[in-house]
Structure formats: C-alpha cells, structure tokens
Amino acid sequence: MSALSSLYPQPLWQWFSQICAIPHPSKHEQALSLHIQHWARDKGLTVVEDKVGNLIIKKPATPGFENRKVVVIQAHLDMVPQKNADKNHDFTSDPIEAYIDGDWVKARGTTLGADNGIGMASALAILGSDEIKHGPLEVLLTIDEEAGMTGAFGVEPGMLDAEILINTDSEQEGEIYMGCAGGVDAEFTVPVVWQAASDAVTTFDLSVTGLKGGHSGVNIHLGRGNANKLLARFLADNATELELAIASFSGGSLRNAIPREATVTLTVPSEKLTRLQQAVAQFEALLQFELAAVEPALKLSLAEVVTPAQVLTAATQTTLIHLLNVSPNGVMRMSDEVEGVTETSLNMGVISTKTNSIQVLCLIRSLIDSGREQVESMLSSLALLAGAEVKFSGAYPGWKPNPDSPVMAIVRDTYQDIYNKEPVIMVIHAGLECGLFKEPYPDMDMVSIGPTIRFPHGPDEMVNITTVGQYWELLLAVLERIPERA
C-alpha cells in the first residue's frame, strides 16, 4: 500500500493508507480510534471521546481566520466488512489490501473502505496541516454508521460549537447533497417446525453467487439481483414438484448491502435428482438472460453435502418459501420532487436459520416518513398472513432538503469557480447521518460532498483517484470561503 502515499493529495492518501492498515469494521473501530487520538494529542489538538465512542477533535483557526464561523468536518470511523467467498480475510485483524488500478484504488477481494475512509482521511489531513487556511475547525468521527448509526444517535447538544457541518460521505464528484433518506430496520421471525429427514434422499447446497451486490441505497435502483430473492423464486417454482425439503437457508451478511450470495441446503428424492439438476440449469439460463446487462457473472451451483438429521415440515416450508417470494424488494417508488432519485425502497438483506426460526433482516429507506410507514404496513400485513412476527427498530430520520442553505450555495459557487461548470444539487437515497445531527443541532447548516466511489458495500468497491484530488481542492477552497460570524 506504500504506493498509495505517492498519490495526490499526499497528506490525504497517506492517512488513507494508515486507515487501511488498521482493522475498523463496524463495532470494531477502537484500534483506529486510539491511533487517531494518540496522533491528535501529539499534535497538541483537543480530543474528546464521548460516551458512545465518537471522536471530537478541535483545532484553532489559522492566523487571520479567527472570526470565521466554526465548521465541523464529519466522517464515520467504520467500514462495511464484505468479502468474496474465496477470500480468506478477517476484518477484525487483517489489513485491507488496497492497490492502484489505473485511475482507481481497489481492494483485493474485500470492500475497500473508501466509504467513508477517504472523507475521514481528508479531515485528518487538514487537522495535520500548518498550511491550509481555515477558521475554527472541529472534526467529528462517528462510530457504527454502517450497522445502526449508533454514533450519530449518541451525538448530544453542546458537544459541538460549529454552525456549519460538512459531511464527507457522498460518493459522486460533481454532486452536492442537501438531503437524504431516512430508514428503519425490519426483522422477520418465521417460526419453524422440524421433522426427521428421509433416508431415500440426496442433499445439496444450492447456491447463487457472482452477483454485484452493493449499497442498498445508492445502488438499489440499478436492478441488480438479490440472491435471497432469486433462491426464493426458484423454490416457489420447484419445491413442490420436486419434493424438495429445506434444511437451512442463509443469504447476505448485512441489512444495508444487496445480498450477493445465498445458499439453501435441501434434500431431493433420489429419483428426482436429474430433474433437479435440469431445473437448476434452466433457472440459471433464465436469470442469465433476464439479468444479462447487470449481472454478467451470475452463477447457480449444486454441491452434494451430508444429509442432515432434520428438515422443515411441509407446512413450515410452504409458509417460508411463499413469504420470501412475495415479500417486496427493491424500489417501491421514485421521487416526484427530485428526478431520478428513489423515494422509497426495501432491501431483503440477510436470511439466517436459527434453532426454532428463520430470521430475515430488511432495511426500509424513504425520503418521506409516510413512504417508510407504508412499507412497514405492508410487511406487518405479510407477517400476519404468514403467522410470523416482524419488529421494526433503529429508525432514523431523513435529512430534509434546504434549497436556501448558505453553505450549499458556497459549495456550489466554489465548485463553479474552480471547474467552470455547475455542480448537480442532489438528494441521496442513502442514510447520511445529517438527519440525526439535526435533532441536537436544529439550526446547523449542512452539506455533503465526496469523491466518486463505485460499488460501496461490496468487494468491487473502488474510488477514483482524480476525483479524490478534485474533492480535496473543493473542500479546501470552501473552508477558505467560510464567512465571518455575525
């Protein structure tokens, strides 16, 4: 990763190289947090770790900028831990293997953590500089953004002095974000009853692999395959005819990532084995036709395994298959107010088999509360019909757009002055933390910017090197243009 440190801008990439070297998946950010704290204190900066684990680092203004409004640059400490099935990697102990591929930085077989490591690196690089011009500066690094926004929920009034917040968690250069979706987790618990597996059967793992996955907000409108839903579709079409019996179902690993892989362990009567193999081949060909443009590497496979002691009863299995098959997934509605932006969506992210139940974790996102509530109502009705239970938790608010935002105008005008073109003012269908910050700081003026990051939340994640330089130049120019306090 030493090659990263030679990229422009060097201070940012040097920090990003350090961030990659220190494991920091969601809920395991402490090692990185301590590294940053020790560094900041050695620099003579004021450092506070709040009661949930967020870091607030404060730096005085550069000479001549003491009367400017206080700005907080905000990023999150954690990254999404996703890897390819054939990659041997422990996110709690192994560094990210970042490398340069043309004008992109990628990782070998895992998520890169450019979301939000680049934003974090930019904030730390500014804190470490004696040359960058800025007013009184604060940096807020939150924990657990990707797995529940625990850090953002824990931000309290009085912790920050800033009047302006610059969020660095956007993922498209040339776009300025002034609003985002809110969301809520939905957890189905489907009760199951087991019975002894038959003797005259063969058992297989049926797997869907090779999907792109990605961010369940940013990428949800692209029509990518959801591995959980694809397997449910196959089972709905074939389980009865082929007398399949399910022993377990597992798919996805995060509720906010489109599931790339899923596996169902099932038994089939020996006399129907050939028909199962044919059905799998036919279904694979069908999906490869339907999803050719978006999932060119899609693959279905059968691997024989040891027959388990028990499988689901017929009634339990029927309920489970049809619940998964009929459950909504993907884009529910596009926004009427912001062209090309998803208003409401649902991601069936994780399915896991427990002792007495099958659990299904979903994430609902919406720009409007009523959109989120409508999907909650749909899932509640589905659970009632299926004799299942659904719980909703971790609801977080959206960030209501403010077209008259002064800091948004500064960023827009600065971008136009630097690059001689208009940026795109956007609302993002993802859960930025800004909406939560509006609770303790309702008058804080907010904007979100960032470089171009492709395929976040999946092993194909990459960040464009040129746009990192552009983002850096924009951020520094905006800091220099922050107005004086009234």
Q: How far apart are CA 49 and CA 145, in angstroms?
A: 16
- What tokens does 270 get? 């020996």
In the block, tokens 């996110």 appear at 91
Longest Cα separation, the chain: 84
- In this prediction, residue 1 carries a pLDDT of 60
List CB contacts of 296: < 8 A, sequence separation 6 or more. none
The answer to whether 78 and 147 have CB atoms below 8 angstroms apart is: yes
Residue 292 phi/psi, 5-degree rounding, is: -55, -40
Confidence band of 218 (pLDDT split at 50, 70, 90) = confident
The answer to whether 439 and 158 have CB atoms below 8 angstroms apart is: no
Q: Is the pLDDT of residue 329 over 80?
A: yes
Q: Is the pLDDT of residue 111 over 90?
A: yes
Q: How far apart are CA 70 and CA 68, in angstroms?
A: 6
Marked catalytic residue, from 29, 78, 295, 343 = 78
Q: pLDDT by residue (tens digit) across 249-262?
A: 999 988 999 999 99
Does 175 qualify as catalytic in the annotation? Answer: no
Marked catalytic residue, from 29, 115, 138, 145 = 145
Q: pLDDT by residue (tens digit) across 427-477?
A: 989 889 999 999 999 999 999 999 999 988 889 999 999 999 999 999 999
Does 78 qualify as catalytic in the annotation? Answer: yes
Percent of the chain surpassing pLDDT 70 = 100
Residue 140 phi/psi, 5-degree rounding, is: -115, 120
- In this prediction, residue 2 carries a pLDDT of 73
The answer to whether 68 and 483 have CB atoms below 8 angstroms apart is: yes
List CB contacts of 112: < 8 A, sequence separation 6 or more. 20, 96, 98, 105, 106, 461, 462, 463
